[in-house]
Amino acid sequence: MADQFDVIVIGGGPAGYVAAIRCAQLGMKTACIDKWLNSQGKPALGGTCLNVGCIPSKALLESSERYAQVQHQFSDHGVTVSGVELDLATMMARKEKIVQELTQGIEQLFKAHKVTWFQGHGQLQAGKQVRLKEVGKKKARSLNAQHVILAPGSTPVTLEHVPLQGDIVVDSSGALEFREVPKRLGIIGAGVIGLELGSVWRRLGAETVTVLEAQDSFLPIADEQVAKEALRAFTSQGLDIRLDSRVTGCKVVENIVELQYQDGDGDHQVEFDKLIVAVGRRPNTTGLAADEATLLLDEWCFIHANERCETNLPGVYAIGDAVRGPMLAHKGSEEGVMVAELIAGHSAQVNYNTIPSVIYTLPEVAWVGETEQALKATGVAYNSGVFPFAASGRARATGETGGFIKMLADAKTDRILGVHMIGPHCSELISEAVIAMELGASAEDVALTIFAHPTLSESFHEAALAVQGRPIHIAPRRRKV
Ligand code: FAD
Ligand code: NAD
């Protein structure tokens, strides 16, 4: 029957599309319903990540980094360049082309795997039925499935007293679309988006970038030593990060944003040409399930799901940003693979302790596992080894010597509990730590491994040697807690 599937996935972001492809690979008749319309009003797969998230932001981070390098770093290498100009329209067109190619790539993968793509809104009904309202069609219809995977993703949180306004007060999607570099840029929220997009526009020439953060600590989810180093680095790049700052009002007068905020020193008003609101994301669960379906949501409207991503309804799973855990593309994708395997009757699990986090600024910030402050709070005895990139021959050769790698290992077993990095190419280096932790490696295992010279990876090796109290290229300093 045309409308009967083994699996229906609602949502075609990195959680949903990966789940759909894996289900199809495992021999299940699979459909994926997605309602995303791109800037041309055309249906597009890939969700937030490919359309307005991971991919376009990384394209702009890369382009803006090259622009900054050619202006400020090439001369250190004896390369003199004059007449450097920014062609923002070309930079934006490049970003849009990458997005288009990748989203169309998912479409091709669906075709190759025989996943049926329905373009429209899906709603879970009672008894694993799904109501489908297709784009451009007046009447909705019903689809049936043995299993339903909910992957509706998330949307930016808005602030009631800071309404979005055209291209002046924008969320993260709008901040990827500016057609000129704002002279005075304001950002509410010093989280991952605020830091990445603040870096993009500062590098492209924003004269001031002011980041207002409500909390009194900077990047509290990161290791404290890393967060301290990151704050120092971003401040020296010209990001004016104001902690403990609560926005109290905002209006746009003659295209200028007038923003009021409070901090420990009292009330302040600042003016910006553009303002980005980046204060977190909320799950897309409104209208996802009919009342009769009795899908259980938690108090913040995330879909209730256990570690196997099972909801309260038999045969209905939920994955990605709309369920507990970090809002990261790779977390959602791994949940998608796990659920497909479980439906196929295989054993599968996601190791939630080894999900890496990366902030793609310069320096890059990356970590996996426990932070030092968390180990202290829980009274776990550990050894710590730190290796600064300044002591790495490769970092010296490339001229990127800021930052360090820190490894934390259990004092009794030597098992690696966490790895924290700030510095060049940490988004790539962190995978070495993830693999080590996934395989249950000890610091000694890494210390005994041979790393090519000269590479940045040697710093990971040296951090492990430092845990053992025997780093080669710095004076030893081992701490037991
Ligand atoms: P989404 O990607 O949000 O996809 C959900 C899809 O479901 C959407 O297409 C939505 O339209 C559709 N949908 C929702 N409800 C329905 C319905 N009822 N019927 C039909 N369709 C529906 N993460 C990283 O890991 N690395 C990064 O570098 C990174 N950078 C980011 C940068 C920015 C600016 C932003 C905003 C996010 C970034 N993220 C990054 C986060 C990442 O985008 C999300 O974690 C990821 O997209 C979540 O995947 P998902 O599949 O759960 O949801
Ligand atoms: P976030 O949770 O990382 O940061 C939001 C920040 O805003 C927090 O520091 C919070 O304290 C602050 N805040 C909240 N309300 C505020 C207010 N009223 N005034 C001032 N500050 C306020 O959220 P985000 O930066 O919006 O990103 C959303 C999600 O997208 C994150 O969970 C992240 O995982 C994901 N993301 C990941 C990447 C990456 O992996 N590189 C990049 C971008 C986004």
User: Which letter does DSSP use for residue 321 in this model?
Assistant: G
The 3 state secondary structure assigned to 85-115 is: CCCHHHHHHHHHHHHHHHHHHHHHHHHHHCC
Residue 317 has pLDDT above 80, yes or no: yes
State the distance from the centre of ligand 2 to the C-alpha of 9, rounded, in angstroms.
27
State the distance from the centre of ligand 2 to the C-alpha of 57, rounded, in angstroms.
14
Residue 25 has pLDDT above 60, yes or no: yes
Catalytic residue, candidates 77, 161, 346, 453:
453
Residues with CB under 6 A from ligand 1: 10-16, 33-36, 47-49, 53-54, 57, 121-122, 151-154, 172, 193, 284, 288, 320-321, 327-330, 332, 360
pLDDT of residue 475: 84
Residue ranges of E strands in 158-297: 169-170, 184-188, 208-212, 239-242, 246-253, 256-263, 266-272, 274-277, 281-283
Whole-model pTM? Answer: 0.97
298 vs 456: CA distance, rounded Å: 43
pLDDT of residue 2: 60
Residue 280 has pLDDT above 60, yes or no: yes
465 pLDDT tier (thresholds 50, 70, 90): very high
Residue ranges of E strands in 348-469: 357-359, 364-369, 382-388, 404-410, 416-423
pLDDT in tens, 129-181: 999 999 999 999 999 999 999 999 999 999 999 999 999 999 999 999 999 99
- Is 161 considered catalytic here? no
Alpha helices in 205-267 (DSSP H): 224-236
416 vs 410: CA distance, rounded Å: 6
- Residue closest to 187 by CA, chosen among 156, 213, 217: 213
Q: What ligand has the least distance to the C-alpha of 259?
A: 2
Residue 427 has pLDDT above 80, yes or no: yes
pLDDT of residue 328: 98
pLDDT in tens, 34-55: 999 998 999 999 999 999 999 9
70 vs 349: CA distance, rounded Å: 45
Q: Classify burial at 440, counting beta carbons within 10 Å of its beta carbon; exposed 0-12, middle 13-18, buried 19 or more.
A: exposed
479 pLDDT tier (thresholds 50, 70, 90): low
pLDDT in tens, 391-424: 999 999 999 999 999 999 999 999 999 999 999 9
* pLDDT (average), residues 68-92: 96
166 vs 255: CA distance, rounded Å: 10
245 vs 211: CA distance, rounded Å: 9
**Ligand 2: which of 281, 359, 361 to mutate, judged by most atoms within 8 Å of the beta carbon?**
281
- Residue bearing the CA closest to ligand 2, atom 41: 359
204 vs 286: CA distance, rounded Å: 37
147 φ, ψ (degrees, to nearest 5): -140, 145
pLDDT in tens, 225-258: 999 999 999 999 999 999 999 999 999 999 999 9
- Residue closest to 438 by CA, chosen among 363, 365, 355: 355
Tell me if the bond preceding 454 is cis, omega within 30° of 0.
yes
210 vs 227: CA distance, rounded Å: 18
pLDDT in tens, 344-396: 999 999 999 999 999 999 999 999 999 999 999 999 999 999 999 999 999 99
pLDDT in tens, 291-304: 999 999 999 999 99
Residue 481 has pLDDT above 70, yes or no: no
State which amino acid sits at residue 282.
R
Average pLDDT, the chain: 97
Residue 455 has pLDDT above 80, yes or no: yes
